[in-house]
Amino acid sequence: MIRVAVAARSSVVRAGLESVVRSSSALELAAEFEADVLLLDSGSVPLEDVSQPAVLLTDISDYAAVSAALRSGIRGVLSRDATPEEIQSAIQAVHAGLVVIAPGWLDHVLPEMRPATEALAEALSDRELEVLNLIAEGQSNKLIAVALGISEHTVKTHVASILAKLGAASRTEAVSQAIRRGLVML
């Protein structure tokens, strides 16, 4: 169970965010000093005072504030329009040590941290991308075959092609390459 403390200037916003936390079976509300992760509404606390993992909700157009938050140590930054599921997932990801940023913000906020997008010599097909995503989820060839309604031999062919196109020696390396290239999101 991940303990979450909520901070917001508005009592209505705070109540809404607390409701988001309560609605997840993996999260529970906690006092700030007992929390594993903080869930902050923009402007609720000075960011330089935050010393534990935190997810910040802010306005989508305030890229300077988003950049400053990430540089100050905030580990998750989402739009105030984020869905409850996105907020809950961000809390879990930040608790696991990951950095979370709303889709489309990275290029505006930290252009020097863009994922490597060097072109592949040969692009992955749609089916290969499906297989790659299932590999990233830890699925075996047999389970991938069942999920996609294809033979296990066909899956092996796709895996070999994926490894060759990504220049990877193993499934793990292929997933790592794909994450760096932005082909797979975990």
The domain limits of the chain are 2-113, 126-180
pLDDT at 184: 81
Residue 3's H or E segment, with its range, is: strand 2-7
CA 157 to chain centre: 30
The token duo for 165 is 């196109």
Percentage of the chain lying above the pLDDT 70 cut: 90
- Give the pLDDT band (50/70/90) at residue 112: very low
* 28 in Cβ contact with 4 (< 8 Å): yes
CB 58 within 8 A of CB 74: no
Q: Where are the beta strands (DSSP E) in 15-165?
A: 27-29, 37-41, 54-58, 76-79, 100-101
Strand 54-58 relative to strand 37-41: parallel, antiparallel, unpaired?
parallel
CA 138 – CA 136 distance, rounded (Å): 5
Task: Answer yes or no: are the C-beta atoms of 76 and 105 closer than 8 Å.
Answer: no
Mean pLDDT of all residues in 29-46: 90
User: What architecture is the 126-180 domain classified under in CATH?
Assistant: Orthogonal Bundle (1.10)
Average pLDDT (144-158) is 96
pLDDT at res. 60: 64
* Chain mean pLDDT for the chain: 87
Cα angle at 148 between 147 and 150, to 5 degrees? 115
Query: 70 pLDDT exceeds 60?
Result: yes
Which helix (H) or strand (E) covers residue 21, if one does? helix 11-22
Determine the topology of domain 2-113 in CATH.
Rossmann fold (3.40.50)
- Statement: residue 151 has pLDDT above 60: yes
Identical fold, 2-113 and 126-180: no
pLDDT at 71: 79
pLDDT of residue 109: 64
pTM given for the model: 0.59
